[in-house]
Amino acid sequence: MDEGRYGLVLVTAGTEAEARAIAQALVSERLAACVNLFPVQSTYRWQGEVQQDAEWQLFIKTDLQRFAELEARICALHSYEVPEIIALPIQAGSALYMAWLAEQTTM
């Protein structure tokens, strides 16, 4: 495995429908091998005010060499003015899983 080539990208969405639409597009377009969705409660500062909202967290498994393309697609689909898009490299993983991830994100 190319250490750090593959990663987990974190994105939050305001609704389950939006999260599902983003996940579907990314997997369909091979920008992601898999996306997990979880309901979360978020506390953050926005425009000078502390906000608390229910959101959906996306865990996107992807090839980080395609991060710019992935980021652009998320921004095109996302309703937030400033969506969370954070990439974390995978330092180690099951050889079989990592091979599958590589296969799923290859055009």
Q: Residue holding tokens 């969705």?
A: 37
CA pair distance 74, 76, nearest whole angstrom: 5
pLDDT band with cut points at 50, 70 and 90 for residue 1: low
Q: Per residue in 42-99, pLDDT tens?
A: 999 999 999 999 999 999 999 999 999 999 999 999 999 999 999 999 999 999 999 9
| pLDDT beyond 90 at 19 | yes
Domain 6-104 classification at class level = alpha beta
pLDDT band with cut points at 50, 70 and 90 for residue 107: confident
